[in-house]
Structure 1
Amino acid sequence: MNRFSRLLLASPLLVATTAGASNGPQYAGYGAQAMGMGGAAIANPTDAVAAVNNPAGMGRVGTRIDGSLTATTGQLRSNVQGAKNSDDVLVFVPGFGANYQYRPDITVGVAVSGYGAGIDYGKSVPAFGTSKVKSELVQMLVAPTATYEFQPGHYLGLSLKLGYETLMLHGLENFGASNDRDYALGAGLGIGYLGTIAPGLRLGLTYSSPVWFQKLEAHEDIIPNGRLNMPQQAGLGLAYDSGPWTFAFDYLWIDWSSEKALANSLTQGGPPGAGNGPGFGWRDQQVFRFGVNYHYSERLQLRTGVSLANHQVPDREATLVSIAPCNQPKSLHLGLTYQVSDQLEVTGAYMYDLRHITKGEGASEGVEAGGELHMLTVGLGYRF
């Protein structure tokens, strides 16, 4: 077994965790270079993490491995009926991808990505019970992926999404929640197309089914149906190369409303844990991502981008936003890549989540939560 094969088989052992995100528990971008372009990567694959954005993208990146580390920092604050709390965030999140050009028209690879949200208010004022508020949702996906080039420049991709999930809730005694941690496994599928449809112009299409997780038995008395699945989503991307410039655009639809635990209103009416029981009250998101990449020289690339989306947490459903701080869906991005050698490249990216405060209305009157986050990513890529 050669060195690349050993790395490919070892990749599922990497675990990614997170404690703050942009679009629900999802980051604005996956892959160090995509992060620098506002996440726009459905039609612009650049590394072996491409399968997270569009499985077909792995067909264009060749044999390579990529790893990254993202540091997330910032401050999140909440005020729940006068109970004021804050959390100084500092989280490190790894990412990984590996791809192998098995034949000129076939690639096989794997991408590992992390999702999640959480809060730890430390010495906090109890807001929803008798103890401090602390929450942590971590979801990891390992996506074995294969692509087939059915015509020159046109690729189909298929990913099997194998999921691991852990949930911890603390300080929610008023809702009947235990202070336990629970774990679940899940699975789903992702498919994609990537093709050159005109000189310099690429089109990407992708769809991911829900990742269906097992019941979280320690929390089935509070979570509708006891399950916290990842929602289905679909996206379209365009990328255009013009000399040293690449322009990329993505549209992504995230179907939060199909998952009862996330979509049910807190005032749904049913008992906690039932299919019609209270949830987070999230609505679907429409995400628009724009990115520009400039080849400044043979070795240096510069890039920037922006990600814009609607808030998935309506003001009338703000009661629980303080335990799931996922309400900063607009971000600005910068990045660069330096080609150290023909094989090795180093990438850096910075993302600033535009500050947003959710202020509750109606049944959520008296609740405010939000803040701002900064993310700094460093990535290494090696082509074989």
Structure 2
Amino acid sequence: MFSKGQTRFAGPIILCLTAGTLPQMASATEGYFALGYSPAARGVAGAGVAYSQDAMSGAINPAAVATVGRELNLGFQAFSPSRGYTGTSTGFVPSGEVSSGKEFFPVPNAAYNLPLSNGAVVNFAAYGNGGMNTSYGNVANPNCGGGSGVFCAGEAGVDLTQLFLSVTYAQKMGRFSFGIAPTLAVQAFEAKGLGAFAAASVDATALTDNGLDYSTGVGLRVGMQYELSDQLTLGLAAQTKFNMSEFDDYAGLFEGGGDFDIPASVTVGLAYQPQSNLALLLDYQKIFYSDVPAVANSMSAGALGADGGAGFGWDDVEVIRLGAEWKSSELMTWRVGYAHTSNPVGADDVTFGILAPGVVEDHYAFGGSRQINARDRIDFSISYVPENTVSGPEMTLSGPTGGDVELNMSQISASIGWTRTF
């Protein structure tokens, strides 16, 4: 595909092409963090902080690419979430079952790993960090006094996507590997149909229906791996909070005048290889949504857009991941994984949660890799997330209405990728 000279520039070229897809990206989620960032990683349900799979492994742990070698990795995920709510005796949103539209999202990823003369590597990667999307049509709503739509202002929903562009420096020294990855984040956001909340906003002109707005920021990801023995490896990775620029067009929606930072996270795990062709993976991750007021503050915290104002009411998320990778032959590798995440949405915040019903908990994954020749392989995976629901009282900014809202979400996705070693 690329000549010897061209491959040195293939990674940055692919990253630029991937960045151009930002407005369409979303991904299987834990809260709104991604389950995994490549077909291989998704095949083990995102586990692998202590394990190195490919050039995209740096998205889980920057230290993981220290032993990968020169490699180009491209992937594509077809992601399909089903989400919505059921209203019972509601006095604000429509009663009955209401589902969000837009149930297909293409998700690309790309990474390029380049060894250096000192034994270290530099890695370039582009990937999406999950997403948060709902799109409710102009449904009939008898609670609007002649109006329509979930929130009495026509078609409603939100669309949040995040793209990470990272440059990683990683090196292995004896049994210890480390990695550091300065990372640029780009966010795109749009909200529609929220005019009913105008009276509760500090700036109704920057609340809704202002098209896509963009936000940028820089953060740092670091990681290490240590081989406790020939069979057991410990991994640790952390991501700082990304202080993002404000969404000026939505300063009347997000707390602090449009502030929507990306939360910090930490992951620790083990990789056990009882034999050379088998790896068993265990990860624990915590995502600190509570440090981002626009996400964590409750609906009753105050005016929309104000300092300390209302948010989505999300709690911190804890994730346990289990994965296994088995190389059955020189040509074939198989993967399986399971992840369980705590639900961030509490019963008191289900009404605003209609916009972001990220309530799924269990993730099941299966995948593999097929070696095509000495340099190329095809990676694939499928993930299934069964429906989960969260119920609570219907709330408006002035208090409960006496009705109930039950959020629901399920997900399914399929991924395919191509890896070339040099």
TM-score normalised to the size of structure 2? 0.87
Output one character per residue of 1:154-202: Cα deviation in whole Å (capped at 9) or x when no partner. Answer: 1110011101111100011122322112111111000100121111111
**RMSD value, Cα:** 1.7
The secondary structure found in structure 2 opposite 1:360 is: strand
- Residue aligned with 2:222, SS: strand
Q: CA deviation at 1:28?
A: 1.2
Aligned residue runs from structure 1 range 1-384, under 5 A: 2-13=5-16, 14-15=18-19, 16=22, 17-19=24-26, 21-80=28-87, 81=90, 82-83=94-95, 84-88=97-101, 89-103=103-117, 105-115=119-129, 116-125=131-140, 126-149=149-172, 151-176=173-198, 177-180=207-210, 181-225=212-256, 226-243=258-275, 244-268=277-301, 270-361=302-393, 363=395, 366-384=404-422
- In 2: Cα distance, 1:142 partner to 1:259 partner: 21
Letter in 2 for 1:138: T
Q: Offset of 1:62 from its aligned partner? A: 1.0
| Alpha-carbon shift at residue 74 of structure 1 (Å) | 4.2
Q: 1:20 touches 1:118 (CA, 8 Å); kept in 2?
A: no
Q: Which amino acid aligns with 1:234?
A: V
Counterpart amino acid of residue 80 in structure 2: T
Q: How many residues align?
A: 382
- The 1-side partners of 2:329 and 2:105 are apart by 34
Q: Identity of counterpart residues, as a percentage?
A: 23
CA 1:6–1:112 in structure 2 vs 1: closer, same or farther (change >3 Å)?
same
Aligned-partner residue type, residue 241 of structure 1: Q
TM-aligned CA distance change 1:20 to 1:132, over 3 Å: farther
Deviation at 1:245, TM superposition (A): 1.3
**1: CA distance, partners of 2:25 / 2:348:** 27
1:190–1:207 CA contact under 8 A, matched in 2: yes
Higher gyration radius (CA):
2
SS in 2 for 1:378: strand
Q: Distance in 2 between matches of 1:316 and 1:45?
A: 41
What displacement does 1:378 show? 0.4
Amino acid of the residue matched to residue 174 of structure 1?
A: A
- Go from structure 1 to structure 2 and tell me whether the alpha carbon gap of 1:224 and 1:74 turns closer, same or farther (over 3 Å shift): closer
Code of the residue aligned with 2:10 in structure 1: it is: L
How far, CA to CA, are the matches of 1:263 and 1:24 in structure 2? 12
CA displacement 1:300-359 (0-9 Å, x = unmatched): 011101010110111221112221132213110001111111110101101001211221
Q: CA deviation at 1:79?
A: 3.1
AA aligned opposite 1:315 = A
CA-to-aligned-CA distance 1:61-108 (integer Å, 9 cap, x gap): 111011111011242222353344213511111111111011352100
Q: Which runs of 5+ in 2 are unaligned?
A: 141-148, 199-206
Deviation at 1:124, TM superposition (A): 3.2
The 3 A distance-change label for structure 1 pair 104 and 237 is: farther
Specify the code of the residue in structure 2 equivalent to 1:216: F
**Cα offset, 1:51, TM superposition:** 1.5
Deviations 1:93-146 (A, max 9, x none): 111111101135210011111131111223434122311112200110101111
Amino acid at match of 2:208: S
